[in-house]
Structure 1
Amino acid sequence: MTALQRCVTAPAGRHGASVIFLHGSGDTGQGIREWIKQTLKKDLAFQHIKVVYPTAPVRSYTPMMGALSTVWFDRYKISNECPEHLESLESMSQHLGDLINEEIKAGIPKNRILLGGFSMGGAMAMYLAYKYHQNVAGVFALSSFLNKGSVVYQVLQNNSTLPELFQCHGALDELAFHSWGKETNLALQSSGVPTTFHSFPNLYHELSKTELENLRSWILKKLPEEATAPRN
């Protein structure tokens, strides 16, 4: 697979940290960036943090009767009860790992990189971080869930230091049910992941301004601007 297409919100000042934000199924990096911009009335932008919005490759998607769509992985169905489609999850983990390595080569330590996303993007970020990149700065998942039998839960056993999970979910979500998100949070918490879970009572499967403002505050808490060395 060729390098993933992406759009970027560059930092206003010196680049000292990175956020990789994964879109939901059928969307694009540019699409989620525009949705965030419309919701916040401005870009999710920072003085020192670069925000990268990659676009998933086009692939056959089983819940759409095999139609082609921009999805991070395939699902047997949209449910937390079925097995994970491990072949597609593993393949995409490798390609997103390449994206993380690009940031590292640009001088950003892995503990200054956050992974997260909306819906399928959040699920992909949780799988990627907790299975393969447990030394990132943190993980966020908006309207997302992991399947009950996820291999992630097996991998996390006997790990002491894990990145914090910031999770948000609308109580009225009719696609990825709120209960699925909450169950994921509790299961990760019982596996040693420090978690927070924010419920939004009037929110469907969508983004909200309050949610994104809370996310922005959390990003700044996890990736504070580093003090520059004094000049002689």
Structure 2
Amino acid sequence: MSKLGALHLTKHTGPKHTATVIYFHGSGSNGEDMREWVRLMVKNFSFPHIKVMFPTAPLQPYTPAGGQLSHVWFDRADISIDAPEKLESISSIEKEVRNLIKQENEDGIPSERIIVGGFSMGGALSFHTGYRWDRNLAGVFIFSSFLNDNSVVYKDLKGIGGAKIPPLLQVHGDIDDLVPAKWGQVTYERLKDIGVNGEFHILERLGHSLNRRGMNIIKEWIEKHLPEI
């Protein structure tokens, strides 16, 4: 039985579903809130051939919230680039994410036609998904997130040689007081040095939040990497 909460969808608007986007929410949120937040930013965040999935994280104790129950993808010692990763907690969500992708594969959507992305903690989950668990994905997009300095993502990528690596899009607000833009930039540069191709956008006068410009950048990038077929 899945540990995930409710799954919310934005269905494809055309006659044929040929690609999928999985959009992971931030800590303490849920799939429904993420879908509505995205709709507020971009009223037409829908595609003729792409289904957008907004899953909900399991309800579990979250250390940065004093151990209170929260909808989070995994636990963290602290919201800090210097904190060690809780690998056991990250591993516990791997099966659920793999199952989401597997279900799409079984419905006729190969990994090469799937993009994963997310906001804040959902972005961190997307790094692990696209650069550890399924490197055949069409791409990874990140809004206001980072990897810990000692992240296993860096270690795993260094060991794959010339294997395929999904392209990366990162966007980050320049006045983010929860996840400083510098953390996002450091993450991007380290991944780039390992061999990840991508682009990084700094959004002026934006804190730890989505905004219309950032979502439009993501929408255009999705359309580029998941064209109609």
Which residue identity is paired with 2:215?
L
User: In structure 1, the residue corresponding to 2:135 is in which secondary structure?
Assistant: coil
Q: 1:23–1:29: 8 Å Cα contact kept in structure 2?
A: yes
Give, in whole Å, the separation in 1 of the partners of 2:224 and 2:39: 21
Tell me how far 1:43 sits from its aligned partner. 4.4
Corresponding position of 1:165:
168
The yes-or-no answer on 1:138 pairing with 2:142 is no
Tell me how far 1:36 sits from its aligned partner. 0.9
Q: 2:3–2:58: 8 Å Cα contact kept in structure 1?
A: no
For residues 65-89 of structure 1, the C-alpha deviation after alignment (integer angstroms, 9 at most, x for no partner) is 1000000010000001011011111
Q: 2:17 is matched with which residue: 15, 25, 33? A: 15
Give, in whole Å, the separation in 1 of the partners of 2:2 and 2:165: 31
Corresponding position of 1:114:
115
Corresponding position of 1:70:
71
Q: 2:84–2:150: 8 Å Cα contact kept in structure 1?
A: yes
Q: 2:123–2:143: 8 Å Cα contact kept in structure 1?
A: yes
Corresponding position of 1:154:
155
Give, in whole Å, the separation in 2 of the partners of 1:82 and 1:205: 20
Q: 1:18–1:49: 8 Å Cα contact kept in structure 2?
A: yes
- Is 50-59 or 124-133 further displaced after alignment? 124-133
Q: If the length of structure 1 is used for normalisation, what is the TM-score?
A: 0.95
Gaps of 5+ in 1: 227-232
Give, in whole Å, the separation in 2 of the partners of 1:66 and 1:196: 36
Q: 1:22–1:54: 8 Å Cα contact kept in structure 2?
A: yes
Percent of aligned positions that are identical: 45
Q: 1:159–1:192: 8 Å Cα contact kept in structure 2?
A: no
Which residue identity is paired with 2:54?
Y
Which residue identity is paired with 1:213?
N
Q: 1:219 is matched with which residue: 219, 222, 226? A: 222
Give, in whole Å, the separation in 2 of the partners of 1:186 and 1:99: 29
Give, in whole Å, the separation in 2 of the partners of 1:194 and 1:56: 28
Post-superposition, which runs of at least 4 consecutive aligned residues in structure 1 deviate over 3 A?
none
User: In structure 2, the residue corresponding to 1:146 is in which secondary structure?
Assistant: coil
Give, in whole Å, the separation in 1 of the partners of 2:193 and 2:181: 19
Q: If the length of structure 2 is used for normalisation, what is the TM-score?
A: 0.96
Q: 1:37 is matched with which residue: 39, 42, 45? A: 39
Tell me how far 1:159 sits from its aligned partner. 3.1
For residues 3-54 of structure 1, the C-alpha deviation after alignment (integer angstroms, 9 at most, x for no partner) is 53210001012100000000000000000111111122x1420000000000
Give, in whole Å, the separation in 2 of the partners of 1:3 and 1:212: 29
For residues 183-226 of structure 1, the C-alpha deviation after alignment (integer angstroms, 9 at most, x for no partner) is 00001001110020000121000011011111100000000000
What is the RMSD of the two structures over their aligned residues, measured on CA atoms? 0.9
Gaps of 5+ in 2: none
Q: 1:50-129 counterparts in 2 under 5 A?
A: 50-129=51-130
For residues 126-181 of structure 1, the C-alpha deviation after alignment (integer angstroms, 9 at most, x for no partner) is 01210111110000010000001101111111432210010000010000110000
Q: 1:170-209 counterparts in 2 under 5 A?
A: 170-209=173-212
Aligned residues: 225
